[in-house]
A = this chain, B = another copy of it.
């Protein structure tokens, strides 16, 4: 067996692929006693991604000591795998010579990914470490907009003219030097004389075909061309939707300029999901576990401030009914229930709608059916919980009228929750605002305001 057995335990237990605490301790102990040989021995079996995780999980002091002791063993891939939040810190700690060597080993798309979020001084430091040709490739990629296919693609593509035969392609591949080919490739892209991609051929098919077969006979059925300006989230969607392994990237004239492979698309899909979840929760979308207290505080304050404003809005509604509450204190006891149930139902509708928009499942063809469904579901669940709460109200406070009021308010608020939870993200999406970012605050404002108003207003009408 190869040394994959030393990688974090890939067994079937709960903690598959988690770095063992004792391994981390052993590594930190080697750092403590400054035993470079022991450190190198312990780190050697770890994948770059695992080393990056390790660096993220230890504190800044241990991190800088570890990196200094590890020194020349430090690999460029570790930098690629690091969270942006500590990448700058790590680059600052690395000796210039170590940094230069680490970066020179990377593919052009990895260098782009590595430096695009660094400050100018650090960017320049890394660009200087590159050879001239590599530097030119990286700078070309950086000219594309952030989060575009152009940034994501690698420049190295294996292509062949559409009139070639299998034999010609195989000979060309066998005679190419190491530098001419990407480190890994799975397809040959067939191009027409104007460099427009016309099809993909898998290496498996190429190998199994006779030399005289025209390449054009072997193209795959599924083939997608990605415009360089396309948003990377759409790239990830296309790979997932059409089960692509690699896809050629073209410029505005449709000419082949690069290639995106599925592993990069998978990484984008993972990041996009992460951002969606963090946005829905009102945490800055670039939050990382290794952020400092200061960064974390700063990222979260805006969302809490929005929430403060919306909850003051709800309080203003309550303030309109001070007289009613002064007479029947039970209203103050029960009113949070109506608001909370509405908020919950609204969040349910909202999450489903936001996800469906992100996955392109909610379109013009079904938007009205979905809205109708959510409102109906709100109505039915509203009635169910209205009955329950009506009974609770009667039993608890001995007042059937109070029971009716809370029941009616519950139905109203749950229907509004279904409508607002679906309608708000759809409207935001139409006017070009990310629904995951802003819908939550709007929807809970609506359900709070409507909940308090319906309950207290009905109570003032019926009970006073």
Check A297 against B352 for contact (C-beta < 8 Å).
Answer: no
Q: Is the C-beta of A94 less than 8 angstroms from some C-beta in chain B? A: no
**Residue among A270, A326, A348, A452 with most chain B CB within 10 A:** A348
What distance in Å separates the Cβ of A268 from its nearest Cβ neighbour in chain B? 11
Check A304 against B17 for contact (C-beta < 8 Å).
Answer: no
Q: Is the C-beta of A139 less than 8 angstroms from some C-beta in chain B? A: no
Q: Which residues 284-315 of A sit at the B interface, judged by CB distance below 8 A?
A: 287, 289, 292-293, 296-297, 300-301, 303-305, 307-308, 311-312, 314-315
Q: Is the C-beta of A256 less than 8 angstroms from some C-beta in chain B? A: no
The docked-state distance in angstroms from the alpha carbon of A384 to that of B311 is 16
Q: Is the C-beta of A203 less than 8 angstroms from some C-beta in chain B? A: yes
Check A308 against B389 for contact (C-beta < 8 Å).
Answer: yes
Check B199 against A184 for contact (C-beta < 8 Å).
Answer: no
Check A186 against B300 for contact (C-beta < 8 Å).
Answer: no
> Which B residues are CB-close (under 8 A) to A21?
363-365
Check A300 against B230 for contact (C-beta < 8 Å).
Answer: no
Question: Of B14, B238, B300, B344, which is within 8 A of A304 by CB?
Answer: B344
What distance in Å separates the Cβ of A428 from its nearest Cβ neighbour in chain B? 12
Check B245 against A355 for contact (C-beta < 8 Å).
Answer: no
Check B289 against A11 for contact (C-beta < 8 Å).
Answer: no
Pick out which of these stretches binds chain B: A49-57, A120-128, A129-137.
Answer: A49-57
Check B308 against A388 for contact (C-beta < 8 Å).
Answer: yes
Check A363 against B57 for contact (C-beta < 8 Å).
Answer: yes
Q: Which residues 121-175 of A sit at the B interface, judged by CB distance below 8 A?
A: 170, 173-174
Q: How many copies altogether?
A: 2
Q: Is the C-beta of A87 less than 8 angstroms from some C-beta in chain B? A: no
Pick out which of these stretches binds chain B: A30-38, A65-73, A96-104, A220-228.
Answer: A220-228
The docked-state distance in angstroms from the alpha carbon of A301 to that of B181 is 57
Check A1 against B266 for contact (C-beta < 8 Å).
Answer: no
The docked-state distance in angstroms from the alpha carbon of A21 to that of B392 is 48
The docked-state distance in angstroms from the alpha carbon of A245 to that of B246 is 11
Interface of A is mostly: helix
> Which B residues are CB-close (under 8 A) to A229?
12
What distance in Å separates the Cβ of A288 from its nearest Cβ neighbour in chain B? 8
**Residue among A206, A276, A363 with most chain B CB within 10 A:** A363
> Which B residues are CB-close (under 8 A) to A305?
385
> Which B residues are CB-close (under 8 A) to A335?
332
**Residue among A176, A360, A369 with most chain B CB within 10 A:** A360
What distance in Å separates the Cβ of A350 from its nearest Cβ neighbour in chain B? 8
Q: Is the C-beta of A458 less than 8 angstroms from some C-beta in chain B? A: no
Q: Which residues 274-289 of A sit at the B interface, judged by CB distance below 8 A?
A: 274, 276-278, 280-283, 287, 289
Check B12 against A227 for contact (C-beta < 8 Å).
Answer: yes
Add 17 more A-B contacts to A12-B234, A304-B344 (CB < 8 A): A1-B198, A1-B225, A2-B199, A11-B230, A56-B366, A58-B365, A186-B202, A243-B263, A262-B263, A266-B269, A277-B355, A305-B385, A311-B340, A318-B332, A322-B333, A331-B332, A340-B448
24 contacts between A and B (CB under 8 A): A2-B219, A4-B223, A4-B225, A10-B226, A11-B230, A16-B234, A16-B238, A21-B364, A24-B365, A58-B365, A174-B208, A176-B208, A184-B202, A185-B204, A186-B186, A203-B207, A244-B263, A282-B344, A282-B347, A297-B377, A303-B344, A308-B385, A314-B336, A322-B332
The 10 residue pairs across chains A and B that have the minimum distance between CB atoms: A281-B351, A332-B332, A273-B273, A21-B364, A203-B203, A311-B340, A16-B234, A12-B229, A57-B366, A57-B365
